[in-house]
Amino acid sequence: MFNQFGSTAENLSKASAVVLRIGTDAHLYDDPEDVNIAPLLDSKFESEKCEALKRLLALIAQGFDVSNFFPQVVNNVASQSSEVKKLVYLYLLHYAEKRPNEALLSINYFQKDLGDPNPLVRAWALRTMAGIRLHVIAPLALAAVGKCARDPAVYVRKCAANALPKLHDLRLEEHASDIEELVGILLNDHSPGVVGAAAAAFTSICPNNFNLIRRNYKKLCQILPDVEEWGQILLIGTLLRYVVARHELVRESLMLSIHGLDNNGFCEKDDLVRDLTLDKGDDGNSDSVDSDLVRVVSKCYIEGPDEYLSQSSFPDTVSSVFHSKETTSIAHNEDVKILLQCTSPLLWSNNSAVVLAAAGVQWIMAPLEDVKKLLNRSCFCLGHPLRPNMWSSAIF
pLDDT at 167 over 80: yes
Task: pLDDT band for 388, please (50, 70, 90 cuts).
Answer: very low
Task: pLDDT band for 175, please (50, 70, 90 cuts).
Answer: confident
In a shared domain, residues 55 and 196: yes
In a shared domain, residues 204 and 64: yes
In a shared domain, residues 260 and 317: yes
Domain count, the chain: 2
Q: Of 178, 212, 240, which residue constitutes the final position of a domain?
A: 240
- Mind listing the pLDDT tens digit for each residue in 63-106? 888 888 888 888 888 888 888 888 998 898 888 777 777 777 78
CATH code, domain carrying 164: 1.25.10.10
92 touches 134 (CB < 8 A): no
> What mean pLDDT do residues 375-386 have?
57
Q: Of 213, 240, 267, which residue constitutes the final position of a domain?
A: 240
How confident is the model at residue 181, as a pLDDT? 94
In a shared domain, residues 228 and 267: no
- Terminal Cα-to-Cα distance of the chain (whole angstroms): 68
Dist CA 196 CA 194 (whole Å) = 5
4-10: long-range contacts at Cβ-Cβ below 8 A with a sequence spacing of 24 or more? none
How confident is the model at residue 137, as a pLDDT? 84
**Bigger pLDDT: 254 vs 51:** 51
pLDDT at 26 over 90: no
Q: Is 354 exposed, middle or buried (0-12, 13-18, 19+ CB in 10 A)?
A: buried
In a domain, 374, yes or no: yes
- Mind listing the pLDDT tens digit for each residue in 308-345? 445 544 444 444 434 445 666 666 778 888 998 899 88
64-71: long-range contacts at Cβ-Cβ below 8 A with a sequence spacing of 24 or more? 64/32, 67/95, 67/98, 67/99, 69/37, 69/38, 69/41, 70/95, 70/99, 70/102, 71/102
The structure's pTM equals: 0.74
In a shared domain, residues 276 and 218: no
In a shared domain, residues 300 and 362: yes
Closest CA to 380 of 390, 366, 370: 390
In a domain, 16, yes or no: no
In a shared domain, residues 75 and 134: yes
Q: Of 181, 216, 240, which residue constitutes the final position of a domain?
A: 240
Extended strands (E) in the chain: 249-250, 327-328
Task: pLDDT band for 15, please (50, 70, 90 cuts).
Answer: low
In a shared domain, residues 213 and 257: no
Q: Which domain holds residue 268?
A: 250-395
Dist CA 112 CA 230 (whole Å) = 33
In a domain, 5, yes or no: no
In a shared domain, residues 32 and 113: yes
In a shared domain, residues 183 and 259: no
In a domain, 20, yes or no: no
In a shared domain, residues 236 and 117: yes
Closest CA to 183 of 215, 155, 154, 152: 215
In a domain, 337, yes or no: yes
DSSP state of 286: G
How confident is the model at residue 269, as a pLDDT? 45
**Bigger pLDDT: 283 vs 304:** 304
In a domain, 108, yes or no: yes
pLDDT at 107 over 70: yes
In a domain, 391, yes or no: yes
How confident is the model at residue 295, as a pLDDT? 58
